[in-house]
Amino acid sequence: MTSQTPNQAISVAGLTEYIQALLEQDPILHQVWVTGEVSSANHHRVGLFFTLQDPDNGASIRCVVWQGMMSKLSQQPQIGERVIILGSLRLYPQRGEYQLQVWQVLPDGVGLQALRFQQLKNRLQAEGLFAPERKRSLPVHPHTIGVVTSPTAAAWGDMQKTWRSRYPGLRVIFAPATVQGDTAPQSIVQAIQRIERDRRAEVLIVARGGGAVEELACFNDELVVRAIATCSIPVITGIGHERDESLADLAADVSVHTPTAAAELVVPALADLYRQHQHRIEQLIGAVEQVYSQQQMHLTKMRDRLNRIHPDKLVKQELTNLQWQRQRLLQIVSSQLKQQSQHLKMLREKLTVLDPNAVLKRGYALVRNQNGDIIRTATDVEINEELILSLGKGKIKVRVEDYQ
């Protein structure tokens, strides 16, 4: 028994209009992502017509990209490729068929990840997290720095080696973190927060060695990016090798391509400081010699003028003026020498502070094992292990009998 009588039957157009309204007014079908494999394609002057098929069960849907949208696609649909399509469902009453009107085509998998990355980047950029005016300058001569990286990674060892040769005496606060995998974002954020709570670090390095794109995904995580952007101290990122910038790089105050580059950037080289000091000394000596030479020439001119003047009165006046000029010269030279001597003394004191041998000469000792590694805690040694103590003058070899 039918649910309608012939008098209640609707026309084909009426049924088609009803179905069209259901499909095209549905909010999900108005903007839907669909994944599948391109099984056929036909280029036409008005656009590209192709079929998207589900390779698992054979289901398919017809798709169209109008000519005006072709240039906006991330990639062109190619037969045999798996793609992700963004579009809206449309029904054509004349044929009683529906098809997907396509707005965007992305490669399956990587394309969706890239889209999410771009969406997050645009949102954080709109909030101003990457704005140049947020960037802070780095301290010129930091005494204490913070480091967030994996304790087992080669990057951590490379940075320590760089500082030993480049800037001995630097204090480093290390906050170990996982820098790969699902737990990495939270681990990195917690490590950054530990450095902030400590309050001693003047600058922070967030580092990781090179790797595949998926291994560096944690540095595009929103939690990590916000932690870097809102950190209370300047942040340097040294993540991976030559590659595209991560969102963490964009949020940092300074970004470089490797952990070693970050280690070199954060502190000056002691050798460079010494050369600068020597240059200042040479400039000081040159300035004093120039002033002395100029005044000497002036005195010579004054003497020549006095020799050309015979009246006693003028001679006495010139002698008085000469005496005044001589006194003024002495005062100027004395004042400049005093200022430059004070500046030289200050530079020597700064250089002395940076000299590790000065620490040893005050009675301290630098303890190393047979491999040359520095011993910082009692747990780093073993009973009967031989150690070498470097003093202000000379070295002593000792053997460990006990430790506490």
Residue 30 is assigned to a structural domain of this protein: yes
Among 53, 83, 108, the domain boundary falls at: 108
Burial 139-158, CB ≥16 within 10 A → b, else e: eeebeebbbbbbeebebbeb
What does the pLDDT read at residue 1? 45
The count of domains in the chain is: 4
Do 50 and 63 have their domain in common? yes
Range of the domain at 175: 119-266
Do 92 and 180 have their domain in common? no
Do 275 and 245 have their domain in common? no
**How would residue 310 be classed by pLDDT, with cut points 50, 70 and 90?**
low
CATH code of residue 77: 2.40.50.140
Count of beta carbons in the 10 Å neighbourhood of residue 250: 19
**How would residue 302 be classed by pLDDT, with cut points 50, 70 and 90?**
confident
Query: Residue 38 contacts by C-beta under 8 Å, 6 or more apart in sequence?
Result: 50, 51, 52, 53, 77, 78, 79, 80, 81, 83
What does the pLDDT read at residue 270? 76
Among 108, 135, 170, the domain boundary falls at: 108
The predicted-structure confidence for 331-389, as pLDDT tens digits, reads as follows 998 888 888 888 888 888 777 777 677 666 777 788 888 888 888 888 888 888 888 88
Closest CA to 130 of 233, 246, 241, 232: 246
Residue 44 is assigned to a structural domain of this protein: yes
Do 277 and 394 have their domain in common? no
Q: Can you tell me the mean pLDDT for 196-220?
A: 88
Do 219 and 125 have their domain in common? yes
The percent of residues in the chain predicted with pLDDT above 90, rounded, is 36
CATH code of residue 159: 3.40.50.2300
What does the pLDDT read at residue 192? 96
The Cα 233–Cα 228 span in angstroms is 9
Do 390 and 346 have their domain in common? no
What does the pLDDT read at residue 21? 85
The predicted-structure confidence for 129-141, as pLDDT tens digits, reads as follows 999 999 999 998 8
Residue 313 is assigned to a structural domain of this protein: yes
Residue 181 is assigned to a structural domain of this protein: yes
Residue 218 is assigned to a structural domain of this protein: yes
Query: Quick one: tokens of 113?
Result: 């990840």
Arithmetic mean of pLDDT over the chain: 86
Residue 404 is assigned to a structural domain of this protein: no
Does the structure show a pLDDT above 80 at 39? yes
Do 379 and 336 have their domain in common? no
Q: Quick one: angle between helices 312-354 and 270-308, nearest 10?
A: 170
The predicted-structure confidence for 63-80, as pLDDT tens digits, reads as follows 999 999 998 888 889 888
What does the pLDDT read at residue 143? 92
Do 287 and 341 have their domain in common? yes
What does the pLDDT read at residue 244? 61
The Cα 318–Cα 324 span in angstroms is 10
Do 257 and 276 have their domain in common? no
Do 300 and 163 have their domain in common? no
Does the structure show a pLDDT above 80 at 197? yes
Q: Can you tell me the mean pLDDT for 105-126?
A: 78
Q: Quick one: angle between helices 222-229 and 184-198, nearest 10?
A: 20
Do 290 and 207 have their domain in common? no
**How would residue 241 be classed by pLDDT, with cut points 50, 70 and 90?**
low
Residue 169 is assigned to a structural domain of this protein: yes
The Cα 267–Cα 270 span in angstroms is 9
Do 376 and 285 have their domain in common? no
Q: Can you tell me the mean pLDDT for 196-218?
A: 88
Q: Can you tell me the mean pLDDT for 217-221?
A: 90
The Cα 284–Cα 287 span in angstroms is 5
Residue 1 is assigned to a structural domain of this protein: no
What does the pLDDT read at residue 201? 95
Query: Quick one: tokens of 131?
Result: 């704005």
Among 354, 369, 388, the domain boundary falls at: 354
